[in-house]
Structure 1
Amino acid sequence: MKLSLLFPLAISLAALSACTDPSVANKAVAAQNSEISATASAAVHGMVIFGTDTLFVSHIPMYMSPHDYQSIMQVKISHPTSDALAVYQKALGTSGKQTLFTVRPKPFVLPNLLNGKISSFTADLYKGNFEQGGKVVLSNVTVTVEENLYTTQLSKSTAAVDALTYIPVETADSSYLVHQISAPNNFDHIVQIQWLNKGSNSTADFPSTVDETSPINVEPLPVKEEIVFKTFSVADKEANRLQAGQYFSVSEDGTIAETATATGAAFRVVSDFYCTQGPDFYNLCD
């Protein structure tokens, strides 16, 4: 299933601030990944998995090699004797709200996945966080990358960004916002949203900047070459993160502001299902 929308997004809670060039804060992953993979070692790379019919994984990073990548990928899952997607969907339930699922892969070299040298890995699927009491739903699942949506290499010297920034990940059946990670004291955060006024979901509605540097451009994994960033007027702090129950409206000039009720709202935050604190992204957000 093709994405109906994909570009890093930030939303203004009051007035749209000056757009921030994310390349200043984050170093894009380029073709040099082939050199990184030559020296990187195999490791367990935990990931959050989310979605309903179309699935995505978000790598849980750390600010040290070989874990120093924020990466969001569209994936499919399979199993030799079970319908892996059906097993996941049954565990997810029918409430319509995303809950936390993670995958614990067998050790592999992450840059090899990012640069296309490999396209799949084997993992155990957990309901909850596999490092914090999660329960195995299905073991030995094959996770195959269909598209590398966003990849950025992180560093302890990565500069903080001024404005709260999220990366939208959307299909016909589900919409999510993934927080763009910058400096080591940042946070990893994913929320599910519901569009109430789909007409607001358009690039034409938002003033934008464009980062023309492709996050990664090595076949066979297709990669988004143009990334549009937009900024909240609030600081990029954990306390300002999006939370379940919030409503947001979109004005004609592209400003997105929180509203008290659903009246006039463009979207609402349905589920705030994952948030951990840097630099190791283990402890839960306050």
Structure 2
Amino acid sequence: MGERDEDQEHGVEPARPPLTEARAREMTAGLHEAMDDVRRSVAVLAARVRDAHAARVWVPLGHSSWESYCRAEFHIGRAHAYRLLDVARALAAIHGAVTAGTETSRTRDTGPSTAAALDYGLSQRALIAVSSRADVVAELITRRLAKLAHSGLQALDTATVRAVVRQAVRDVRTAPPPPPADPLADPAVVALRAVVDDLAANSHAIGELMLEVAPPYLSDTAAADVLALLCDQIGEPLDHGLAARRYAMSGDRRALHGTVL
């Protein structure tokens, strides 16, 4: 009795009963459902942001710009306000590509109205990452869907369209940036550039792994505490892991300078 009182006095939680496999699966299913809800809300938010911006909703409310409207109404800063637009534009480009890609093979799951409402399972971070290359993503989706439609080998149902969209976004996110319009002819320079591109692509993949463990809202200091063990286990220096994490968040290779590059 005295020992239990002492534990309670010091804030020690009582031992929990062991988790059963059935309960663990139930909790995991709940997490999947919650994550799906978050992804769906991204699509809804993007559509409403796009409509509000196109209608210049800030004008009748007496605001001078989209930025000032977002600050006054939603208490978010300039960067966040324009990130919302980036997400909306990227998703609009994807919707357009899905509609174009399924034009030749309409099914009950892939009509234009359904395409606009389809949940692609894309996170806000993924949409932001490809927002500057939304045209590339759209072209890739359209081409792949059209190829599937013409082949007749696979029905363009919701699951197929969703998989094509997600793969296209993933491919563009992980692809190295295009070479300059007038690349240097020196083979050594070309080879070195290819090595740097490979390092950057690998670092981006590592950064994505780091973000799964240490989400973007954590500072570098807090992330270091979380990632130290992971980096040790995979044989990656902690400063390299943190740099890769910053690169995955920003897409800016300068995040790798002084560590990986």
> Under a length normalisation based on structure 1, what TM-score does the superposition of the two structures give?
0.20
When you count strand as a share of all residues, which structure comes out higher? Answer: 1
Structure number with higher relative contact order (C-alpha < 8 Å, ≥ 6 residues apart) = 1
1 or 2, which has the higher helix percentage? Answer: 2
